[in-house]
Amino acid sequence: MQYKAATAINGAALIIAGAGSGKTRTLTYRIACMISQGIAPQNILALTFTNKAATEMRERIKSIVGSQNSYLIWMGTFHSIFSRILRTESNAMGFSSNFTIYDTADSKSLIKSIISELGYDETKYKPNEIYSRISKAKNALITPNAYAANERLLEEDQKQKKPYIFNIYAAYVKKCKLANAMDFDDLLLNTNILFRDNVNILEKYQNLFQYILIDEYQDTNYSQYLIIKKLAEKHGNVCVVGDDAQSIYAFRGARIENILNFRNDYPNYKEFKLEENYRSTQIIVNAANSIIKNNTNQLKKECFSKSENGEKIGVIQSYTDKEEGFLIANSIIDAIRKKRITYSNFAILYRTNAQSRIFEDALRRKNIPYKIYGGLSFYQRSEIKDLIAYLRLCVNNNDDEAFKRIINYPARGIGNLTMERLQILANEEQKSLFDAVKSENIASGEIKSSTQKKLQDFVKFIENFTSKIFTVDAFEFAKNLAVESGIIADLTQDMSIERKSRYENIESLMNGIKEFCDNEKANSDNQSDFITTINEYLDNVALITDSDNEKAEDADKVSLMTVHQAKGLEYDHIYITGMEENVFPSAMDELSLNELEEERRLFYVAITRAKTKVNISFSQSRYRWGKLTRNKISRFVREIDERFLETKLDYELPINKLDNNNIIDNFDATISPPAHTHTVTTIIKRPQLNRHTPSANFTVSDYRDVRIGMRIEHNLFGYGKVIDIDKYEPDGKMIVMFDDNFKRALLFKFAKIRIVK
């Protein structure tokens, strides 16, 4: 079926790809087949949802058709491809090609400033809520004028006692235009406007993109759907790949209707179903099928697996949410010992980020290293945003958000009052802050002459670097700017732990810029005269998604994340936690049928992340706002065919009055459940730990004293011999062969070991 889908390259095609069915492989070979049949690679448009997916696909294609062909393909995320088109056609939109792409933090900062300037109450008009409202409007292709004329939207705002959102929206769009900036939603909205208002430009790209492929089509929103439909009108060669059973992003504007109605949009389409799951065991696939069949709104398919039957789905029931965390931590330790696998094989999934605390506490107490997905992105760290803001302002002098961020960093004596007066002048003259500093009227304002000079010196400094953009490569440009701006001096004036960490982050950014320059040069035709400019690097950084940020040093750790963040990932062992009504699915009394079906699809996604083992956990009681509440087992757990569960479930287990603190303090001992008033089936799985008892003289040794060949004692695993060491750094590790013949990798910053000899 993969072969059929890959070789039927003409006309419209719908590839329904179940979890783990090899859709990336199929897309890769479909593109390779096109090129082998003489289709020019530059006439192929391939759209993905992450840079990581695009990079993986390009590398696979390169191995088949060669480097030059692979890099001529228009391949990337929706936002990266559309930003490239918008930069090329920027004049038609009234922007210059060096426009800045605002991230969420930039947008919220600008909205906050607008709320203040308009004199609205920030406790009522909260920037986060207003940003979300504007984002939804843009993704529905509603411009400020259309918003102001939409009675339904205005009525909704009136009911929420926020009647002036349309004013904030209009001011926001105007400020972005003045700053020569677009936000992420603008990249879609403005592409639609570009094609709507410029028939010649639309025809240009219709002629260019003769073959269009879209990955994860079920995740497209209305704006993306319309762009694809317009581009595919001329040639009709559009291939979409997706799985309606994994449509879980309605809250972002994704429309499952896009994939469900594909056959109506393209009546002469061909359909291919990739139903064999190459990732998971038969039991996992069958269990997932038994859940998703309960949805009514779906494209029918029957996924199957030819791999081993596998282990049944484990069920971990706890009395409290704290106990749930420690049962899972102990289960991980037990699996590592029995199966001799590493931490990186495990992922703990939960419905909301707020649930992570319980598991973090449990893992820390057991010395289990972990990483959390969806935490603070590297590019959102303060010091990184500072340097990026300097770079952005050099590329786009009108970038007000960058200007405001760095005008007084490092400190140059320019305070809030000066900025308020400068903003007033900029508003009066309809100029950016940068241009307002150069205005003849700045002298007639209330800004002191000494402060005026500081502002003008700053502007000259930025202009000097702006003049070098196309003559100095991105790495040298950024390095010189970091030094001459005073950022490096500020971070090295004292080497406190905090400043040292920030300095190391700047070093890491520089390494990333260097790597980007080297990669771009390696892929260029004329390497001798090739220069990667800083604006090319900034464009790349602006379009990086959270899923593109995983670091190598995070490799051997248990992964913690929401189910939404897990989509597209896979692990040997998956723990799906908090499987209770009003947790997963969430707030049942508030869910419509469509929303309930999306929650079920979310559970389906969670189960199909696993290769070999799924464990489901739920708690009889959970604290909510300080009150201990009783919970019912999630209806989704009850929908799993019991043939695929390790234990038959008893859905009416009574609540037990246990002291939460006692459970934690005595958890290493085996806890017997209290006597019940009637007989029940107990399905708590408490692994026997057989932990090593440290010797009486056990004291933790300095990792820098450890050498290969030494015998050591670990506080948990007992005695062993060091057989290898990977760098003497806190994030380094030693490989130890323990007396139980189990080889383990121990991270220095977590390992508690004593050198024996």
Distance CA 482, CA 423 (A): 27
580: helix, coil or strand?
strand
Q: Which residue do the tokens 């062992």 mark?
A: 573
Q: Active-site residues: which are they?
A: 23-24, 215-216, 246, 609
Indicate the DSSP class of residue 41.
G
Neighbours of 367 (CB within 10 A): 16
Distance CA 471, CA 368 (A): 49
> What's the gap between Cα 349 and its chain centre?
15
- One-letter identity of residue 150: N
CA neighbor of 318 nearest in space, from 582, 62, 667: 667
Q: What is the DSSP string of 161-208?
A: T-TTHHHHHHHHHHHHHHTTEEEHHHHHHHHHHHHHH-HHHHHHHHHH
d(CA 230, CA 202): 8
DSSP string, 397-441: TT-HHHHHHHTTSS--S--HHHHHHHHHHHHHHT--HHHHHT-GG
DSSP per residue, 689-712: -------TT--PPPGGG--TT-EE
SS3 274: strand
Burial 247-265, CB ≥16 within 10 A → b, else e: bbbbeebbbbebbeebeeb
- Quick check: helix, strand or coil at residue 713? strand
CB 22 within 8 A of CB 4: no
